[in-house]
Structure formats: structure tokens, C-alpha cells
């Protein structure tokens, strides 16, 4: 059996051989492989945060069974130092620097895989890392608590006070540096391998909005006060004063930013789509999906962000917003 991993048209040949000889039949462009659409990808992979950057002043990102995709790096300078990015699957296309505080990665109840397409630095701070970690670069480990297997396609550097769970291991392909008097039992869990499993970053491209006529026909409006069941299609959207909690909100900012702040103890559920801008949120809680080019910025302390599948906000696939 052959598996086709890239979209395209493929020519196939079948050869039959017997005592009488062999015969081959070739069919040109017989196999047609299409790429999964972005909306299907978001739904099937349970994506609930997609963007270039995550800046989080809140408390917890609850993504058990869900996926976060960051098309840029991650730095605790942009994250509440005590926050938890608790998603089952995390893709980060860039370096990760977590130094100071206890901000962790991965889901404790449903650990999965964390993919870092760059260097990974887990410096000061007893943070917990749940799930298996794949690093396409170097790994510096100081205080973190590692609960799964780490595959490092590069150099491994240990500093003082890391903790590896009983079954945790680190496999690396490069050099290994550590304090001379480090616990031999810990060092034995760090194992050189000539190669380690690799990974591919998602190759889905952020889609453009649909036409203005399509949104108008579906009941979207160009402006409105933040309230339940609001559907907005506009260049951008801003709500910066207190509003009561709102549910089933869908906002498409086709050429700018979405800013929803000042909510205080109120919450918001829905879908926020800014294909050419950023999303900024300040309130007690957000439940839903955020798809953005330039990043998701949570400005309020104590905020929780919780996954809810995109499909749940639409009565039919014909109503999907992109």
C-alpha cells in the first residue's frame, strides 16, 4: 500500500507477471489527492487558537483534546508567568523561551504532543510539561518537570534542578552538556540517538474571508453592540466598555483587528476571525475559537480561555464563516 501525503495528481502503473510474461498498464493522473480545507482542518483537529503570537495575561488556557497553532515563537515575556497553556496538541513554529514563573505546556488530563520548530529553553521556574515534546533544534532544561518523552534533533544542555518523571526520557542527536556532579540516575534518562522522530508543521494557509454578499445573505451586519447572537462582518470591530456576558457571537474583521476589552466579570463565547489582524480580549472568560494572522492578546488577569469546536456555532456546514 502506498500513502500519498501531498496534494496533487499522481500517475500509477500496475504490472502483472506470470509464466507467460508481464504486462503493465499506466493511468495518467489517475489518483487525485486534495488538501483538506482550512475549515475542515480546524474542526477535525479541534483547533481553537491559531495565530502568529500568543500574549496571555490571564490564568489558564483550557484545551484538553484541542490544538493550538502558533505560526511564530513563544516567550514567557508575553505570557503570565503563572499561566498554563493546557492544550493536548501544540504546534509552535519558532523558538520557545520560558524563563521565570511557572507557565507550563500541555494537558494534564489528556497529554498529547508538543512540536517546537526551533530551539526550546525551559529556564528558571518549576513548570510542568505534559505530553511528548519534539524539538527541531537545541534544548536547554533547567527547572522544568518533564512528564513525557522529549525528542531533540540538536544539542541537549541540562542545568541544575530539572525533574524527569520515572518513565520520562530525553533523546538527542547532538552534544550533551551538564554539571559534572549531576545525579547519574537523571543523566541515564538522557540518551544519544543518531536520529530522532521528526514532524511536519501544519501547512494549512489562513483563508481569506468569503464575499461581502455571502455574509450579508447569512445575516451578518457591519456594526453593533456586543450582545448574544451578534454576527459582524466589517473591516474591524471594537468594544471597549463593560457589557453583560454574550454567547454565540461570530465576528469577522476582514482587514483589521478585533478588540473586545473592558468586560470585567463578563464572559464571551463564539468565534473571532481576523485574517489580516489581531484579536485582543479582556474579560473574565472566553469560550470558543480564535483564528487570526497577527496573534491573540489576552490583557486581563485571571481570564480563562476554553476550547469549543467551531462546528458547534453553526447549524450547517453551509454556514461556516470561511
* pLDDT tens digits, 222-249: 999 999 999 999 999 999 999 999 999 9
155, 141 contact by CB (below 8 A): no
| pLDDT for res 4 | 47
Q: Tell me, what DSSP letter sits at residue 37?
A: P
Write out the H or E segment, with its range, that includes residue 138. none
> What is the residue-wise DSSP string for 65-80?
EEEEEESS-EEGGGB-
Task: Note the pLDDT of residue 184.
Answer: 97
The parts of the chain modelled with pLDDT lower than 70 are: 1-10, 29-35, 81
Provide the grid cell at 157.
544542555
pLDDT of residue 69: 98
A 10 A CB-CB count for 7 gives: 11
Long-range contact set of residues 113-120: C-beta below 8 Å, sequence gap at least 24: 113/89, 113/199, 114/89, 114/90, 115/90, 115/91, 115/199, 115/201, 116/92, 117/91, 117/92, 117/93, 117/201, 118/73, 118/92, 118/93, 118/94, 119/95, 119/154, 120/95, 120/96, 120/152
The number of helices, as runs of H, and strands, as runs of E, in the chain is 3, 30
Contact predicate 287/269, CB 8 Å: yes
Give dist(CA 286, CA 46) in Å, integer: 16
Which pLDDT score, from 0 to 100, does residue 254 have? Answer: 98
Give the span between the Cα atoms of 162 and 178, in whole angstroms. Answer: 11
| Burial grade of 194 (CB within 10 A; 0-12, 13-18, 19 or more) | exposed
Can you give the pLDDT at residue 171? Answer: 99
| C-alpha to C-alpha distance for 205 and 167, rounded to whole angstroms | 37
Q: Note the Cα 14 to chain centre separation in Å.
A: 41
Output the pLDDT for position 83. Answer: 83
SS3 category, 213: helix
Per-residue pLDDT at 272: 98
Q: What is the pLDDT of residues 128-179, one digit of tens each?
A: 999 999 999 999 999 999 999 999 999 999 999 999 999 999 999 999 999 9
Helix H or strand E segment including 257: none
Question: How far, in Å, CA of 122 to CA of 124, rounded?
Answer: 7
Assigned C-alpha cell, 153: 534533533
Amino acid at each position: 500500500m502506498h500513502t500519498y501525503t501531498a496534494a496533487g495528481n499522481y500517475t500509477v502503473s500496475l504490472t502483472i507477471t506470470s509464466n507467460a510474461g508481464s504486462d503493465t498498464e499506466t493511468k495518467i493522473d489517475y489518483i487525485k489527492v486534495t488538501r483538506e480545507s482550512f475549515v475542515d482542518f480546524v474542526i477535525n483537529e479541534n483547533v481553537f487558537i491559531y495565530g502568529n503570537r500568543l500574549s496571555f495575561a490571564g490564568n489558564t488556557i483550557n484545551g484538553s483534546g484541542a490544538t493550538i497553532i502558533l505560526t511564530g515563537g513563544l516567550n514567557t515575556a508575553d505570557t503570565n508567568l503563572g499561566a498554563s497553556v493546557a492544550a493536548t496538541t501544540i504546534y509552535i513554529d519558532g523558538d520557545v523561551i520560558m524563563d521565570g514563573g511557572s507557565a507550563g505546556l500541555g494537558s494534564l488530563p489528556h497529554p498529547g504532543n508538543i512540536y517546537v520548530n526551533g530551539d526550546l529553553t525551559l529556564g528558571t521556574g518549576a513548570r510542568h510539561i505534559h505530553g511528548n515534546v519534539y524539538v527541531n533544534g537545541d534544548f536547554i532544561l533547567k527547572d522544568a518537570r518533564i512528564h513525557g518523552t522529549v525528542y531533540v534533533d540538536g544539542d541537549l544542555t541540562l542545568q541544575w534542578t530539572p525533574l524527569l518523571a520515572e518513565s520520562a526520557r530525553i533523546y538527542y542527536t547532538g552534544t550533551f552538556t551538564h554539571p559534572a556532579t549531576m545525579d547519574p540516575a537523571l543523566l541515564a534518562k538522557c540518551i544519544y540517538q543518531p536520529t530522532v522522530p521528526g514532524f511536519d508543521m501544519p501547512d494549512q494557509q489562513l483563508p481569506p474571508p468569503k464575499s461581502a454578499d455571502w455574509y450579508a445573505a447569512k445575516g451578518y451586519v457591519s456594526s453593533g453592540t456586543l450582545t448574544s447572537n451578534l454576527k459582524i462582518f466589517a473591516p474591524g470591530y471594537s468594544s471597549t466598555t463593560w457589557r453583560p456576558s454574550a454567547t454565540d457571537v461570530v465576528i469577522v474583521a476582514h482587514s483589521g483587528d478585533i478588540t473586545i476589552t473592558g468586560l470585567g466579570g463578563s464572559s464571551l463565547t463564539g468565534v473571532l476571525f481576523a485574517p489580516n489582524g489581531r484579536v485582543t480580549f479582556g474579560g473574565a472568560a472566553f469560550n470558543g475559537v480564535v483564528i487570526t494572522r497577527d496573534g491573540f492578546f489576552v490583557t486581563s488577569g485571571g481570564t480563562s480561555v476554553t476550547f469549543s469546536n467551531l462546528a458547534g456555532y453553526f447549524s450547517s456546514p453551509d454556514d461556516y464563516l470561511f
